[in-house]
Amino acid sequence: MGESTRSQRPVVSVGPTILLLFLLLLPTPILTFDLGSFLSALTGGGSGQSRQCPSQCNCTTPRAEELMQGYVSKYLPFMGVHMQPELESEARKVITIMTAWYGSMADIRCHLGPGERANITDLLQGSSLSFKSLKVTCDPGASVVWDVSAVNAFINVLDMQGCGLEKADNNTQMLAVPLNLWVLNLEAVLPVDVASLDLSTAYQLLALSVMHSNLTRVPQHWNNSVTPRLLYMGFAHNRLKRFFCEVAASQLTSLSLDHNDLTWLPPCLLGGSRYASHVSLRHNGLHSLKQLFANKTKNATLHAPPSIYHLDVSHNQISSLGALKNIHPLFGLDACHNYIASMTNDTFSLVPLLRWLDMSHNMLEEIPDGSFSSLVMLTHLNLSHNKLASFDFDQSPLSTKLVTIDVRHNRLIYPPYADTGYVAPPQSHIEAAANPFTCDCNIDVFLQFLGAAKKSRQSWFSLGYWDKSDSGVVLPYMDTNELKCSQPLDLKGAYLSFLSFEKACPVLHGCPAGCRCKLIKEGERHLSVNCSEVESITELPASVPMLPDTPIVLYFNQSGLKRLEHRPYLRQVKELHAGNSKVSVVTSGAIEALQNVSVLELHNNQLRSLPSLTKNLSLPAATNVTLGGNPWTCGCHDLWMPEWLHQHSTILFSPDEVRCRWTGKAVAKLSSEDLNCGVFNYLPLVIALSMLMGLALVVGSFLVRYRLEVLVFLYTRFRVRPFDLYKYDQARTYLFDVFVSFSQHDYRWVVEKLVDQLENRVWPYRLCIHLRDFPVGAPIADSVAWAVENSRCTMLVLTRDFLASEWCRHEFRAAHSRLLKDPQAKLLIVVHGPLDARILDREMMAYLRTHTYLRTEDKWFWSKLEYALPQPQEGVEMIGEVAGVGQLEAPPQEIDMDTYLPAAMAAGDVTTKLNGEAIPTAPVTVAAVTV
């Protein structure tokens, strides 16, 4: 559309414009005609050539009412219609009255492609009708040139979605909203374009909606706007963090701030003057409603209470509710889908006009008594999807209106009002489906209550369940056909309406685990506790369900019951069935408590005897007692049983089946002659002592045979040495712990294995090795005697080469000689490799036969060696500079020990240090020796 098109537009004369403004101010139509067609003809819009709809647009001519009702449907969800169902009909009635003048309206819907640009006036040329609705949907980069003036009286709806807004020329400061615009709907419009709009002339604006536009705040210059007829204002799906009521709207009905980033209630809504009747703050970040809580401090400053009719704070993060202020007049509160876990009993005490309350989808576990007692006008209460375990009369609203109470999807184990026998307050509609109901005898009371309505409706009138408006009966429970059982397991999923508890009903409270408890109504009324075939029960349960004046019947047949002991409830037991079980013990306390039992079944168990106190007890109420099939021992202590059985023969079932285990004789015929009870019977004692002595002999033989292994095990595992076989002198301090005597041919095993194992440890042994520690220059015989004398024990590494060495045999004799003279001296023989007994001399053979020796092939060799050796001496260390000490070199293979001479001289003296003090020893010089 170019300049030629604009020059052909008819000019609206002053007369028709004034007439239009006059008609718009009329409250109701005075004539019924098509004002749009009339004005179009008056202004010349209908003359001349017919106008062609732009190529990117679709032009229709619906009735104005039809078009406006579409926007009513769009905005109703944001206006709290769920809290005020009458709102929809009222809003549509207003639209019908308002649009009665207009008749047809041009509905122009355009789509601009990427980067496309169009003027609003060009798009409006698609229809000759005077009143028009323009909806433009833009692809990315497309824009609309705002070239309409504020005095344009023929644009009623502007709907821009995703469009950029451009100024018609550079001289234009703001984009003026036409004075006769009814609906301004902006979606996905940039915040800078929204801020460029001027609402100062939007006198006829009914609905203002800015959605999905990433607004962080409402344009501040909108404070100067005058919107006296604005009914709906919405800023949903933006990023508002604060809201200051920037738009002045005296008649504002609904304010929608849904899906924003608000964390607190806007303060401008909490003043004494009303800003909006309905305020919706759904899907924000509200954590608390403390600004609405009453201040209970004495010095609190009094403020005018907020004026809000309906408040929607659903889908936020509110965790608790305190006492609300006197919000006048608060009719509806939606707080569903939050995290509310607690409230007080005075939360709603100052808002008595509340009619609609939704607290569903929260975390409430209980409702304080009296929380809703002040809500006498309440008509809707939704507490579904919480964690309520009960809902009683004290928690219910006492409304004078017909109130719907929804407690579905909670954790109720019984329907509401179980505390009053399910007598609900009059004028109540209750929904309680999807709860885990326990279908026991308490449900039977509920079924009887509902059954009264089927039998006689008069009883419902007497309880006040009638509608004052039409005098009809009001049934309190609305969804009885949807109530299902969750427990017991055999009734899980069953509908309550199909249950019949006329003959029996389950009793679950207090019923032992694994058992089935029922109240039997048919015949003689009693409480049945059936634990038959329950192997996990080995003794009587600590408690069972008990009802006043109701006997108990216990069933433990074929169970794991082993002990029958006293329980308080046994005095109320009428029958006890415990046959074919594992009962082996019956106490006198249990028999004394069963004074009211009529049937006692204990047959086919493991009873060997009854307590002797039973002979003084009787079962006065019993009519049937079974004791057969038990392994009765019939000892001398059971001689009272025959007489007791004879006294109760009339109630015993098959007395002849009560027989002794070993003899098979009937217990009732047992006598003292059968047991020789006059003479003490030593046989059991002899048998017991014999078994004990046999066991002691076996254990003793084992300990003697493996005494060393046992002692080694105790020492290595627990560091204890009972019955120590190797007791060493602890009073004297020795230069060495062990003198190791060995043949030079066994040098490699001694150095690489024995010395390495004993000296390289946390607490090393001080070993005397002749190649390293013998005094240099001293005779060998004297050195051997010196080594034996200064060592706590002597270890002989006994091999074939050792026996073949004259010096080794000399070392043995020296150690043996000391052993004979000094009882504290110790000689330890370690056999390494195979030995030929024929080469042993008589003295060595005699010692090996009379003493314990160790073999290196034994898998316990090192543990036994550690046990046999003395513990390393603490506080003894060698000090001084010793030349060559610590290096043991292998001796030449061809030199005989008989020709042994020292090969090196000592480089220093040796001093023994005990507990930090040096003590003199023999003037011995130590050096590395190579033989």
Distance CA 231, CA 434 (A): 40
Joined tokens for residue 888: 């043991």
Q: Are 701 and 694 in contact (CB under 8 A)?
A: no
Nearest to 767 by CA among 736, 796, 797, 789: 736
pLDDT score recorded for residue 332? 94
Cα-to-chain-centroid distance, residue 918: 71
Joined tokens for residue 680: 């003490």
* DSSP tag of 61: -
Nearest to 670 by CA among 626, 637, 648, 627: 637
Instruction: Give residue-wise pLDDT tens across range 619-651.
Output: 888 999 999 999 988 888 888 888 888 888 888
| Spans of the chain below 50 pLDDT | 1-35, 37-49, 297-302, 725, 878-887, 889-931
Count other C-beta atoms under 10 Å from residue 66's C-beta: 13
Q: Quick check: helix, strand or coil at residue 899?
A: helix
CA dihedral 406, 408, 413, 417 (to 10 degrees): 10
pLDDT score recorded for residue 915? 33
Backbone angles phi, psi at 640, to 5 degrees: -80, -20
Q: Are 183 and 156 in contact (CB under 8 A)?
A: yes
pLDDT score recorded for residue 689? 85
pLDDT score recorded for residue 128? 75
pLDDT score recorded for residue 456? 57
Query: 């122009």: which residue's tokens?
Result: 108
* DSSP tag of 104: B
Query: 């059954």: which residue's tokens?
Result: 451
Distance CA 51, CA 795 (A): 130
Instruction: Give residue-wise pLDDT tens across range 299-349.
Output: 444 455 678 899 999 999 999 999 998 887 899 999 999 999 999 999 999
Distance CA 281, CA 385 (A): 21
Q: Are 625 and 586 in contact (CB under 8 A)?
A: no
One-letter amino acid for residue 807 of the chain = W
Which secondary-structure segment (H or E) carries 592?
Answer: helix 588-593
Count other C-beta atoms under 10 Å from residue 373's C-beta: 16
